[in-house]
Each structure stands twice: as C-alpha cells, then as structure tokens.
Amino acid sequence: MKRIFLTLFSVATVASASAQQTDNSKIYLNEQQQTSLSASGHTATLSVGGLELIFGEQDPALTLGVYPHNNESNTKISFAGFNGVSYNHLSLMEFGFCQIVGTDYGAYAAEDRGFMDLNNGKSIHVAFNFVTFNTLLTKSRTLGLSIGLGLSVENYVFSNDLTIKYADGMMRPEPIDASYKKSKLVATYLHVPVLLDWNIRRGLFLSAGLNFDLNIGGHTKIKFPKEKYRNCHLNPFNVGATVRLGFQRLYVYGNYSFMEMFKQDQGPKAHRMSVGLGLWF
C-alpha cells in the first residue's frame, strides 16, 4: 500500500511539474529501470514493463491512454468529448431533428388518431457524449471500436393544439386552447452508443453500431402559461441502430430505435428516429 501511495504521489508531482516546464525529464522507480516516470510539456508518463500510461491535457480534455513505446496510440479514454486521436468518432455534442415513425393507432378510436403528428422542423434532438472509449482493432488502423456514455434529449413538438395524458390505461390526446405557444413531449435517456469504425482514408470515416438507451425522464409541457405532466409511460429501455459518415471533426448521423417508444399497450405503437450533425469545438 505504501509503494502504491508513493507511486501515485510521484505521478501527481511529475504531472504538476510538467505543466511548468517543456524539457524532458525521467525518474526511474526501481533498480532494474523497468518502471519510470517522465514529464514533457503538459503530460506525465508512467512506464511499466512494455506499456506507458499518459496523463495530461489534450484539446484540452483530461485523457488517459495506453500506448506502446513507439508512441503510436491504440487505445484511449476521453472525458468531456475531446480527444486528440483521429479515430475518435463520437463528438461531445450531436444536434439534429427527431421524429416518430411507423405509428400505429389501431387501439384508438378514429377521432383520436393522428395525435402524435409532429412539427418536424421544431422537434430537436441533442446528445452529449461525456465519456468515450476508443481502440483500434487492426494494425493498419482502419478498423476501430468506439463506446460512449452520455445523455440524449428528444423534444417532440406536436403540430396540433393538444397535449397527451395517461387515462383509462393509455396515453390519450387532450385538446388545449389555440392560444398556447407550444406543446411538446420531452424524453431524456442515458445514452450508450457502441460503434464499429471504418477509417477509410485521409480523415474520411464510416461508423455503424447500436445505441443502448435507458429512459431517465419524460414529461409533456405546454406554454404559456407553463404546465408540465410527467406520467408519460415511456418504454424504460431501448435498443436501436446508429450510423455515421464524416470527415475529420464533422459527421452526419442517423439513429433508429428497434423498440417501441411507449410501454406495451399504453400508447400508440411508434419508433424513435433522429438525424443530425456531430461536431467538435
């Protein structure tokens, strides 16, 4: 335990010192010179056996990477969405539009059908990838794996003068006065994308995989005056497909959920879909 504490203390000391100097320095922690600490610029490196752990700032994220000694990075964990490696294809923020497709109102009366019609130009999807894990799968660096952890927020703006509430075992439409400025359904998910990346050439890439979404909140809102209703009976767990095509620090994305938006038999049968742009700042 004492040795571990001294090693961690040494890492912190070297990392602090490295922020104040740009010259290289190295400290060996054992007589066989198999474990060492070094500092350069704004990074500190802990070498153990054949691997190096890099602690420091990049773009300006805090990063932790595992590197072979030739300094060719093949695995990285990044916080706050920034990453210096070219094969990270999950940006800090994704922004686009969301909609509901494949809607089936078979359980509703004819006069109630169509209540999930949306104003697609105002229905906004925003996702944040706060933590990303990226690794290369081939020596040619053409194939990689990216995994993210973040939030996805979807704002579905109704096109008709109505809101939805739970009544008689189902989500049902409820008319509102035309004086209200906006009526929408907001769904928030803990978002985990898992992607297989194909780095085609010179910054061009194609990624495809699965989204795993855990619903952590949902409500309807009308304004003005502002009113919220939280009992929306959204499906607690969703799995869907995702694809991205991009160049360097910009990509277009598309998401489609395999599972229904609402809990079984508690709303219309419908699937979530979103398209937009991912970008780094």
C-alpha neighbours within 13 Å on the C-beta side of residue 266: 14
Residue 57: what pLDDT? 47
Low-confidence ranges of the chain (pLDDT < 70): 1-73, 80-86, 281
Query: Could you read off the pLDDT of 230-245 as tens digits, one per residue?
Result: 989 999 999 999 999 9
Q: For 87, which DSSP code? A: T
- At residue 154, the pLDDT reads 98
Q: pLDDT for 78-134, tens place per residue?
A: 776 555 566 778 888 999 999 999 999 999 999 999 999 999 999 999 999 999 888
Inter-residue contact 55 to 46 (CB < 8 Å): yes
Per-domain residue ranges of the chain: 1-49, 59-279
